[in-house]
A = this chain, B = another copy of it.
Amino acid sequence: MRELVKVFRALSDETRIRILKVLLERECCVCEIMQALDISQSRASRNLGILEGAGFVKSRREGLWMVYAIDEQAMNSYVAALIEVLRGSLVNEEIILWDRERLSRAVRVGPRAIRK
Protein backbone atom coordinates (compact mmCIF):
# COMPACT_ATOMS: atom_id res chain seq x y z
CA MET A 1 0.00 0.00 0.00
CA ARG A 2 2.72 2.40 1.02
CA GLU A 3 4.48 1.47 -2.19
CA LEU A 4 1.40 2.11 -4.31
CA VAL A 5 0.83 5.51 -2.72
CA LYS A 6 4.46 6.39 -3.37
CA VAL A 7 4.06 5.46 -7.02
CA PHE A 8 0.99 7.63 -7.52
CA ARG A 9 2.49 10.45 -5.52
CA ALA A 10 5.46 10.43 -7.84
CA LEU A 11 3.10 11.09 -10.73
CA SER A 12 1.09 13.75 -8.94
CA ASP A 13 3.40 16.57 -9.98
CA GLU A 14 3.64 18.36 -13.28
CA THR A 15 7.43 18.60 -13.26
CA ARG A 16 7.80 14.87 -12.82
CA ILE A 17 5.31 14.05 -15.54
CA ARG A 18 7.22 16.32 -17.88
CA ILE A 19 10.45 14.58 -16.95
CA LEU A 20 8.96 11.17 -17.67
CA LYS A 21 7.62 12.33 -21.01
CA VAL A 22 11.09 13.56 -21.91
CA LEU A 23 12.69 10.31 -20.79
CA LEU A 24 10.20 8.43 -22.95
CA GLU A 25 11.89 10.17 -25.86
CA ARG A 26 15.38 9.18 -24.82
CA GLU A 27 17.60 8.79 -21.79
CA CYS A 28 19.06 12.00 -20.38
CA CYS A 29 21.59 13.27 -17.94
CA VAL A 30 20.50 15.79 -15.34
CA CYS A 31 21.75 18.76 -17.29
CA GLU A 32 19.74 17.73 -20.32
CA ILE A 33 16.61 17.55 -18.20
CA MET A 34 17.39 21.03 -16.93
CA GLN A 35 17.60 22.31 -20.46
CA ALA A 36 14.56 20.47 -21.78
CA LEU A 37 12.27 21.66 -18.99
CA ASP A 38 14.11 24.93 -18.35
CA ILE A 39 14.33 24.34 -14.60
CA SER A 40 17.02 24.61 -11.95
CA GLN A 41 19.60 21.93 -11.27
CA SER A 42 18.37 21.05 -7.80
CA ARG A 43 14.81 20.83 -9.02
CA ALA A 44 15.80 18.46 -11.80
CA SER A 45 17.96 16.31 -9.56
CA ARG A 46 15.44 16.07 -6.75
CA ASN A 47 12.52 15.13 -8.95
CA LEU A 48 14.61 12.55 -10.78
CA GLY A 49 15.42 11.09 -7.39
CA ILE A 50 11.75 10.85 -6.52
CA LEU A 51 10.98 9.12 -9.80
CA GLU A 52 13.82 6.71 -9.18
CA GLY A 53 12.64 5.99 -5.67
CA ALA A 54 9.20 5.17 -7.00
CA GLY A 55 10.65 2.78 -9.57
CA PHE A 56 9.94 4.63 -12.78
CA VAL A 57 13.50 5.44 -13.58
CA LYS A 58 16.94 3.95 -13.24
CA SER A 59 20.27 5.72 -13.30
CA ARG A 60 23.83 4.93 -14.23
CA ARG A 61 26.97 6.95 -13.97
CA GLU A 62 28.79 7.86 -17.13
CA GLY A 63 31.87 9.81 -16.21
CA LEU A 64 30.75 13.02 -14.60
CA TRP A 65 27.21 12.52 -15.75
CA MET A 66 24.35 10.64 -14.22
CA VAL A 67 22.21 9.23 -16.98
CA TYR A 68 18.57 8.59 -16.18
CA ALA A 69 16.29 6.35 -18.21
CA ILE A 70 12.86 4.83 -17.98
CA ASP A 71 13.27 1.53 -16.15
CA GLU A 72 11.77 -0.78 -18.74
CA GLN A 73 12.34 -4.00 -16.83
CA ALA A 74 10.73 -2.58 -13.71
CA MET A 75 7.76 -4.55 -14.86
CA ASN A 76 7.41 -5.82 -11.32
CA SER A 77 4.49 -3.75 -10.20
CA TYR A 78 1.93 -1.25 -11.39
CA VAL A 79 4.77 0.90 -12.69
CA ALA A 80 4.76 -0.65 -16.13
CA ALA A 81 1.05 -0.06 -16.60
CA LEU A 82 1.37 3.54 -15.50
CA ILE A 83 4.22 4.17 -17.88
CA GLU A 84 1.97 2.91 -20.65
CA VAL A 85 -0.76 5.30 -19.55
CA LEU A 86 1.73 8.13 -19.69
CA ARG A 87 3.02 7.08 -23.07
CA GLY A 88 -0.43 7.61 -24.54
CA SER A 89 -1.17 10.83 -22.68
CA LEU A 90 -0.54 14.49 -23.39
CA VAL A 91 0.42 13.80 -26.98
CA ASN A 92 -0.57 17.30 -28.09
CA GLU A 93 0.03 19.17 -24.85
CA GLU A 94 1.84 22.38 -25.61
CA ILE A 95 4.37 22.28 -22.79
CA ILE A 96 5.30 18.71 -23.66
CA LEU A 97 6.00 19.71 -27.24
CA TRP A 98 8.15 22.60 -26.02
CA ASP A 99 10.07 20.32 -23.72
CA ARG A 100 10.70 18.00 -26.62
CA GLU A 101 11.82 20.88 -28.80
CA ARG A 102 14.28 22.11 -26.17
CA LEU A 103 15.45 18.55 -25.61
CA SER A 104 16.41 18.28 -29.25
CA ARG A 105 18.72 21.26 -28.79
CA ALA A 106 20.10 20.17 -25.44
CA VAL A 107 23.75 19.33 -25.12
CA ARG A 108 25.50 17.22 -22.56
CA VAL A 109 27.22 20.00 -20.75
CA GLY A 110 26.76 20.97 -17.16
CA PRO A 111 24.88 23.75 -15.39
CA ARG A 112 28.02 25.83 -15.09
CA ALA A 113 28.19 26.16 -18.84
CA ILE A 114 24.50 26.93 -19.18
CA ARG A 115 24.80 30.09 -17.05
CA LYS A 116 21.33 30.94 -15.84
Mask: chain A, 1-20; 1 = CB below 8 Å from B; 0 = not:
11011001101111001000
A4, closest chain B residue (CB) = B89
Copy tally for this chain in the complex stands at 2
- Whether A82 sits at the interface, judged by CB under 8 Å, is yes
In the complex, chain B residues whose CB is within 8 Å of the CB of A11? 8, 12
In the complex, chain B residues whose CB is within 8 Å of the CB of A82? 82, 85
Residue in contact with A4 in the complex, picked from B2, B9, B17, CB distance below 8 Å: B17
Mask: chain A, 59-103; 1 = CB below 8 Å from B; 0 = not:
000000000000000000010011011000110010110000000
Shortest CB-to-CB span from A56 to chain B, Å, is: 12
In the complex, chain B residues whose CB is within 8 Å of the CB of A1? 14, 17, 90, 93, 95-96
Distance of A90 Cα from B12 Cα, bound (Å): 20
20 pairs across A/B with beta carbons < 8 Å?
A1-B14, A1-B17, A1-B90, A1-B93, A1-B96, A2-B14, A4-B17, A5-B12, A5-B14, A5-B17, A8-B11, A8-B12, A8-B17, A9-B12, A78-B85, A78-B89, A81-B81, A81-B85, A82-B82, A82-B85
